[in-house]
Structure 1
């Protein structure tokens, strides 16, 4: 972990404190145009999300009316009933997005993969910068919301399942994350600008409770509409 990652991680509570916990759990309320576009409106509007901090694993429970919960890993996505029995499962799920565009509909397992990958990444940021193989470097300054932010270019290794291997994190003067940029490869490389705010402190860790994602324009600014995804978190617990 280099000095850039260290400064950002320290501002969010520090790696020593983070590594005391194995999971993050939160009540999740979601909205935005993406779920309608993908034919999955309402499935994950209100649920509980849990992610691991020491491995790439995530779960949404309930998974709408379709399953008691989902389980996401890099190699497998599955939907399970109340007894833990597998209802549906898919091995190497990323390959099933081949040729997808932003308008391509998803089935339930594809939704579970997208949601699991997304929330694992979001809730592990910025501590994922300390993972083996993750690299970051300064990429200049960016003026937005009346502040000057540091833009950090992040490269992820093949061993991690993320939306795109090269992303950007913007941090404010306090070194807290303000924005994430990525291109969603499994949805036709759709560019997104993902804003985080309304931080709370849970067990010594600073966590944003509000997330809003908009289309990212070629000049790096975001379009005012549509609101692609909204995420609001409450009842956050680290265990």
Structure 2
């Protein structure tokens, strides 16, 4: 493994500790401009998410005011009622975004796919750096907010459903994540700069609890507005 990747994993609690768990649940409060833009304002303003650790799946509950539950896997998305009855499903969900731009509205299953890949990626990072087929490469350092951050280019294999094949992590001197860049392929390759803060420790693993995503410019700098997505996490539980 790349030495910087190893440093980042160790800083967040270490791979051996991480591998003792198979799932994670957290409470989310979310805001930002994206939800209204996609036609789903308020639907996931306050919800819970459960994700697999390693195994790629995620579930949001409730999904909207009527208490629906989602189940995301890369090959299929399901939306169920509170009793577990499947109300909607979408096979090969990634293909359904063909031709989308940032302004294209999403159906409920498409929203469930987006938040599924997003939260699974965020909550499994940085331990995804050790996943089979994931390749990492150290880039030149980056200066921002009077700090110098190390950068790691991460290339994902086709078997992992995430925002984009190539992503970039920024970490501080201790190896903790500060920023995470990607292009949202399912929304017209929209570039984002995702800022990370508010660390807490749960069962020996360090998790950021504050996430803020802004537009990213061609030179790598971010714009201060609009706030595209905000995510605040609490009640994180590993099992």
The Cα of 1:219 is off from its aligned counterpart by 0.9
Contact 1:177 1:196 in 2 (8 A): yes
The superposition leaves residues 162-221 of structure 1 with CA deviations (integer Å, 9 ceiling, x where unpaired) of: 111001000100100100000001000000000000000000000000000000011111
Query: Does residue 148 of structure 1 match 2:138?
Result: no
Mapping 1:22-171, distance limit 5 Å: 22-171=22-171
Per the alignment, residue 199 of structure 2 pairs with: 199
Q: TM-score, normalised by structure 1?
A: 0.98
Contact 2:5 2:152 in 1 (8 A): no
The Cα of 1:151 is off from its aligned counterpart by 0.9
Q: Secondary structure at the match of 1:120?
A: helix
The Cα of 1:67 is off from its aligned counterpart by 4.8
The superposition leaves residues 3-37 of structure 1 with CA deviations (integer Å, 9 ceiling, x where unpaired) of: 22211100000000001111111000000000010
Work out the CA distance in 1 between the residues paired with 2:80 and 2:65: 12
Work out the CA distance in 1 between the residues paired with 2:49 and 2:73: 14
Q: Where has structure 1 moved over 6 Å in runs of 4 or more? A: none
Between stretches 36-45 and 80-89, larger displacement belongs to: 80-89
Could you tell me which runs of 5 or more consecutive residues in structure 2 were left unpaired when the two chains were aligned.
none
Q: Secondary structure at the match of 2:199?
A: strand
* CA RMSD across the alignment: 0.8
Work out the CA distance in 2 between the residues paired with 1:232 and 1:187: 23
Q: Secondary structure at the match of 1:35?
A: helix
Contact 1:216 1:222 in 2 (8 A): yes
- How many residue pairs match? The answer is 239
Could you tell me which runs of 5 or more consecutive residues in structure 1 were left unpaired when the two chains were aligned.
none
Work out the CA distance in 2 between the residues paired with 1:227 and 1:185: 19
The Cα of 1:39 is off from its aligned counterpart by 0.5
